[in-house]
């Protein structure tokens, strides 16, 4: 099925900074025709030469990475692949989901690559046949937990949810999830809302499916009356300012605040941390397979992962170290539950959470 190619709108030249998409769509349409004529021969010669430059192309990336970070990633990618232009659309995971759903209502997804959120989101798209199978070049070097066995998506960072604490107000930080249920922490805790944050919904499902924690632990935590903030951002801010000195939040935000001078630090709970892997996947409707695959390869390559570490993320490979102030990967206990169980129990987990914390 050919991709929709919207007409050129009038007057767009005066605003060329805002959009180059339409011409590109037209080009993409032409490229698709060309591809159809030559058959699929183009797809076979991609893996043997990782260092060779891909032909000039433009791909559209939908991502929830912070703008500054994704800009740095694209810049580093362009050093290796100067011919590939990456147009970035950045928004929160929920907004991305909404945009993709809306695009599907009237045609194909208008992106080539998606880099966002958690495996659950990608499992959904995989089930709907929206993704194209692709296993990155260097897959053996990666943490097997983050690679989809069916090869439709690959994790690019380990983003664990940990305990953050305000160093001016808390002398001995809690070192386990269990400890947070101690009445000493009543009214001091804040955490993101699974109703609003997809990652928080995933965490709730993981906690409820972890035998050591489960419903008893979540009920006990609720008894401590935590403040349910909107998302990870406000949580880390509340902890840094001391509004709520203990927070349940993703680790890289805490490291960055600490580096900027906030009185905040992170504690990795002993029972293990739930994590999301910010997977990357290629949409089946793409007409720029080579360029998209080159971008995916770069994200999980040693170079791409070194950049991730520089950007305060835990990497998905073992040969690039960890960010300053983070433990070595082997020293972090990680909860890697069965994804199927998690996606099946997610709605119930959110409902249980809502019931407990109201």
Partner 1 sequence: MPPAAPPGPGPVRRDRVRPTVPATTSGTAASAGPQPQRRPRWAAPWDGIDGLRAVLWLVCGAVILLPLSAIVVLAITNNHLPLLLSGDVVEAARNSVVSAATSAVGAVLVGTILALLLDRSDLRGRRTLRLLALTPLLVPPFVGAIAWIGIAGPTGPVNRAWTEWFGGPLWIIYGGDGVVFLLIVHSYPIAYIIMSAALRRVPSDLEQAARISGASLLRSVTGITLPLLRPAAFSAFTLIAVSNLADFGIPSIIGLPERFVTLSTLVYRYIQSGTVESPLEVVATIGVVLLGVAVLSMVIDLLVNRTRVELDQSSAPPQPIRLGRARAATSIVAWTLVLAITLLPLLALTSQALLPAPGVPLAWENLTLDNIVRATTAPGTIVGATNSVMLSVLAGLICTVLGLAVGTIVTRTRARSNAALATVALLPQAIPGLVIAVGWLIIAPRIGLFNTPWLILCAYVMAFVAVVVQAVAAPLRSTPMSMEEAARISGASRLRALIDISWRMAVPAAVAGGVLVALTAVRELTISVLLLSPGSQTLGVSIFSLQQAGAYNAAAALSLLVTLVGLAGLGLVDRRRH
> Count of residues binding partner 1 (CB under 8 A)?
83
What sign does the dihedral 71-74-78-79 (CA atoms) show?
positive
Q: Are the C-beta atoms of residues 250 and 199 closer than 8 Å to each other?
A: yes
Which one of 13, 38, 44, 106 is in contact with partner 1 (CB under 8 A)?
106
Least Cβ distance, residue 273 to partner 1 (angstroms): 19
Residues recorded for the chain:
358
Q: Give the Cα separation of 358 and 89 in Å (integer).
A: 36
Closer residue to partner 1 (CB): 181 or 236: 236
- Angle of the 214-223 helix axis to the 198-209 helix axis, nearest 10: 120
Closer residue to partner 1 (CB): 141 or 196: 196
Q: Are the C-beta atoms of residues 335 and 202 closer than 8 Å to each other?
A: no
Closer residue to partner 1 (CB): 62 or 142: 62
Q: Give the Cα separation of 86 and 60 in Å (integer).
A: 6
Which one of 35, 46, 72, 87 is in contact with partner 1 (CB under 8 A)?
87
> Between residue 175 and residue 234, which ones bind partner 1 under the rule CB under 8 A?
187, 193-198, 201, 227-231, 233-234
Closer residue to partner 1 (CB): 47 or 241: 241
Query: Comparing C-alpha atoms, which of 184, 168, 192, 346 is closest to residue 261?
Result: 168
Told to check if 76 binds partner 1 by CB under 8 A, we report no
> Between residue 117 and residue 176, which ones bind partner 1 under the rule CB under 8 A?
120-121, 124, 166, 168
Closer residue to partner 1 (CB): 168 or 175: 168
Count of CB atoms situated within 10 Å of the CB of 227: 16
Closer residue to partner 1 (CB): 302 or 351: 351
Told to check if 60 binds partner 1 by CB under 8 A, we report yes
Q: What angle do CA 119, 121, 122 make, to 5 degrees?
A: 65
Q: Are the C-beta atoms of residues 252 and 312 closer than 8 Å to each other?
A: yes
Least Cβ distance, residue 140 to partner 1 (angstroms): 31
Told to check if 286 binds partner 1 by CB under 8 A, we report no
Told to check if 279 binds partner 1 by CB under 8 A, we report no
Told to check if 115 binds partner 1 by CB under 8 A, we report no
Least Cβ distance, residue 198 to partner 1 (angstroms): 5
Buried b (16+ CB within 10 A) or exposed e, 186-216: eebbbbbbbeebbbbbbbbbbbbbbeebeee
Told to check if 256 binds partner 1 by CB under 8 A, we report yes
């Amino acid at each position: 099925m050919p991709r929709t190619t919207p007409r050129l709108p009038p007057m767009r030249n005066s605003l060329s900074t805002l959009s180059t998409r339409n011409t590109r769509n037209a080009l993409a349409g032409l490229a698709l025709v060309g591809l159809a004529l030559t058959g699929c021969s183009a797809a076979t010669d991609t893996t043997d030469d990782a260092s060779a430059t891909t032909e000039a192309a433009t791909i559209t990336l939908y991502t929830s990475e912070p703008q500054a970070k994704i800009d740095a990633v694209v810049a580093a990618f362009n050093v290796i692949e100067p011919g590939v232009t990456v147009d970035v659309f950045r928004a929160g995971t929920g907004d991305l989901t909404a945009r993709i759903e809306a695009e599907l209502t009237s045609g194909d997804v208008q992106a080539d690559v998606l880099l966002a959120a958690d495996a659950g989101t990608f499992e959904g798209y995989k089930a709907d046949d929206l993704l194209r199978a692709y296993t990155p070049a260097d897959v053996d070097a990666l943490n097997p937990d983050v690679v989809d066995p069916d090869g439709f998506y690959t994790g690019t960072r380990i983003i664990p949810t940990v305990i953050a604490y305000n160093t001016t107000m808390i002398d001995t930080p809690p070192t386990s999830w269990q400890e947070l249920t101690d009445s000493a922490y009543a009214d001091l805790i804040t955490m993101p809302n699974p109703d609003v944050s997809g990652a928080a919904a995933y965490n709730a499902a993981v906690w409820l499916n972890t035998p050591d924690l489960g419903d008893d632990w979540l009920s006990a935590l609720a008894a401590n009356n935590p403040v349910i903030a909107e998302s990870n951002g406000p949580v880390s801010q509340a902890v840094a300012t001391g509004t709520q000195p203990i927070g349940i939040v993703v680790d890289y935000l805490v490291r960055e605040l600490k580096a900027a001078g906030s009185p905040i630090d992170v504690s990795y709970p002993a029972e293990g941390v739930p994590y999301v892997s910010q997977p990357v996947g290629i949409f089946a409707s793409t007409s720029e397979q080579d360029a998209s695959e080159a971008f995916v390869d770069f994200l999980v390559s040693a170079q791409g992962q070194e950049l991730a570490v520089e950007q305060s993320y835990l990497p998905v490979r073992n040969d690039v170290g960890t960010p300053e102030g983070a433990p070595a990967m082997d020293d972090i206990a990680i909860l890697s539950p069965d994804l199927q169980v998690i996606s099946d129990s997610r709605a119930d987990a959110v409902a249980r959470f809502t019931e407990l914390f109201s």
